[in-house]
Amino acid sequence: MQRAFGDGPLRGAIEPLRHALAVRAPALLHGDLPSWRAALQDLPILHAPALRADGAVVTGTSSRSPEREADGCGGSRAVLHRLGPWRKGPFQLDGVDIDAEWRADRKWDRLAPHLAPLDGRRVLDVGSGSGYHLWRMHAAGAAAVLGIEPMLLFDTQFRAVARYAPFSAVQQLPLRLQDLAGSRLSFDTVFSMGVLYHAKQPLDHLAQLGALLRPGGQLVLDTLVLPDIDPTPGLEFACEGASESASGVDRVMALPGRYAGMRNIDQLPSLARLHRWLASSGFTAMRSVSMARTGIGEQRATAWSGKRSLADVLMPDDPTRTLEGHPAPCRAIMICERPVTV
């Protein structure tokens, strides 16, 4: 089942991005793309697709054609494994439980109580991966949800899940944040979860997010930060217009090599520095709603994700440190607003 590009509530938002997709087309010629597309075609024929996201698991079911009935769920399982590794979940598709590396439902449970109601809102999720949170946002009442995900494997996973979705209010495009520059798009809520620490210029990333928010719109930012490991009071840093202040050491740790096995992280800010970045980018009403070390119950290796995960990059005798000797991953969720201009 193909979902028409730009149909439904998101047509007005997606139409201006046709040019960005055309410009990026050469970068979308991944060598494995034909096999991923073939896997999509091999998923069972859907006669009455239905997807719901009213609990921890995004669940999709299909009405199988008689010729596929004999496959049982084994056929779907094999096809979905061809689209691995699955990083974000959990999903249950056509009777198959996809136990992804990340229990993304736990992050949603942490942030959902602090969100402005999503009812009727236009929402953007930057770096949306397999799209797990897109379905949760839609289930929470969002009128239109757009995800952008430049990794083609993850975008293909979204399209596999979307085969079970009979509505077009949720869309995803294989674009980067910078591809939306100059599009004049405006969203009520923008999510950036797990992206900022990959940005070489974090202030540019925050500025781009702000440009996509309507005045008074809400930014939800999930990112890695330095844990508060110094028990003595540090630099007090209060942001003008913030609903609360960040208390702690205002610093950034440079990462010239790997961090937790990853090469593409240049620096980690303290919570106070993150407040400073947000304030200098023009955001107000800042509040941190969660800050905690990532646990192996939330990120772990599974049969769907590959052999290595969080436990493999931490010191065996001290899980508070990475193998490189840095503080173990600690994530903060910040919620703030783009101020209303007078």
**CA 54 centroid distance within chain:** 18
- Say what the pTM is: 0.88
pLDDT (0 to 100) of residue 9: 64
DSSP string of 43-105, one letter each residue: SPP-SS-EEE-SSSSEEEE----HHHHTTHHHHHHHHHHTT----EE-EEETTEEE--SEEHH
Q: Tell me, what DSSP letter sits at residue 4?
A: P
pLDDT (0 to 100) of residue 62: 67
pLDDT (0 to 100) of residue 252: 93
Q: What is the mean pLDDT of each run of 10 residues along the chain (342 residues)?
A: 48 69 68 89 79 76 52 74 96 91 96 96 97 95 95 94 82 93 90 96 97 97 83 32 50 92 93 96 96 95 95 96 95 96 61
Q: Which amino acid, 95?
A: G
pLDDT (0 to 100) of residue 31: 72
pLDDT (0 to 100) of residue 27: 64
* Helix or strand holding residue 219 (H, E): strand 213-224
